[in-house]
Copies of this chain bind each other. A is one copy, B any other.
């Protein structure tokens, strides 16, 4: 009984994976369109809004179905707390930028399978994706504020770049609390991501320049392998001594 049910949850998640990825891409496109094409007719704007809410609804239904299918509901609940917040919080109009987090998560899962083998490429791609979403979100939040300094996508992208690198000239900065929320998420997440990139470039530079072929971790693994050979050798020696008739 137990086994069958968890298998049903697994099957649902496997089947829903592709449609949800597609919907995440649709959501991102519709959101980008709505934010970038600010002067669209009310009809088009309304249609995009409906599309965004429909995608949200599908994600909400997906969460409900998974919770229903799970046998150990308490464990599912605590393990997928982030999913719950991602469904509940965007229901508040002001926090709809948080829906982008779910979209990023779904797209990331799809994308990870392909390029995970090359960490550098993968992290760079994720950073570009995070940066693009942060630019859209901050533009959406700031655009219509009277004191805003971020009013075009170019401004937003430039602001994202100066923030993620911690340069922070201060020629552009968010003034609304929604924009500052986006900034807070970008700072904590983006600085870590860019830290990985510059750290990778830096250690690659040092290794290549100093002619060091392997890292400490590799040397450590070589030591361990060597040690296991020594142990096997010793065991063989002992076995030989024990079974020799002449001794």
Binding site for B on A (CB under 8 A): 116, 119, 122-123, 154, 158, 161-163, 165-171, 173, 175, 177, 180, 183-184, 187-189, 191-193, 195-199, 201-202, 205-206, 209-212, 216-217, 219-224, 226-231, 233-238, 240-242, 244, 246-247
Contact = CB atoms under 8 A, between A and B. Distances in A.
Could you tell me the dominant secondary structure of chain A's interface residues? helix
B170 A158 contact: no
A224 B219 contact: yes
Given A167-B163, A233-B238, A192 B198 contact: yes
B205 A197 contact: no
Contact of A229 (B197, B209, B231): B231
Contact of A226 (B162, B171, B227): B227
B173 A168 contact: no
Q: Specify how many copies of this chain sit in the oligomer.
A: 4
A197 to B, nearest CB: 7
Contacts of A222: 224
Contacts of A235: 233
A199 B197 CA distance: 12
A247 B237 CA distance: 14
A229 B238 CA distance: 14
Given A191-B198, A192-B198, A216 B220 contact: yes
A223 to B, nearest CB: 5
A210 B119 contact: yes
A202 B196 contact: yes
Contacts of A240: 238, 241-242
Nearest to A229: B231
